[in-house]
Amino acid sequence: MKKEHLDTKLCKECKKPFTWRKKWEKVWDEVKYCSERCRRSN
């Protein structure tokens, strides 16, 4: 799949958009942060 067709979300912490990653395939609905750093700062 081409990158421009991947799903995107906004990070709850930094408010920047981030795109779907293969490692999040099974938990995409639960992903709220773009990185561990943002997740920890909450």
Give the per-residue pLDDT at 4: 73
Find, among 6, 17, 9, 11, the residue nearest to 37 by Cα: 11
Q: Domain residues of the chain, as ranges?
A: 3-41
- Taking a C-beta distance cutoff of 8 angstroms, is the pair 16, 10 a contact? yes
CA distance 8 to 19: 4
Secondary structure (3-state) at 19: strand
Give the per-residue pLDDT at 1: 64
| Whether this model's pTM surpasses 0.85 | no
- pLDDT tens track for 1-42: 677 789 999 999 999 999 999 999 999 999 999 999 999 997
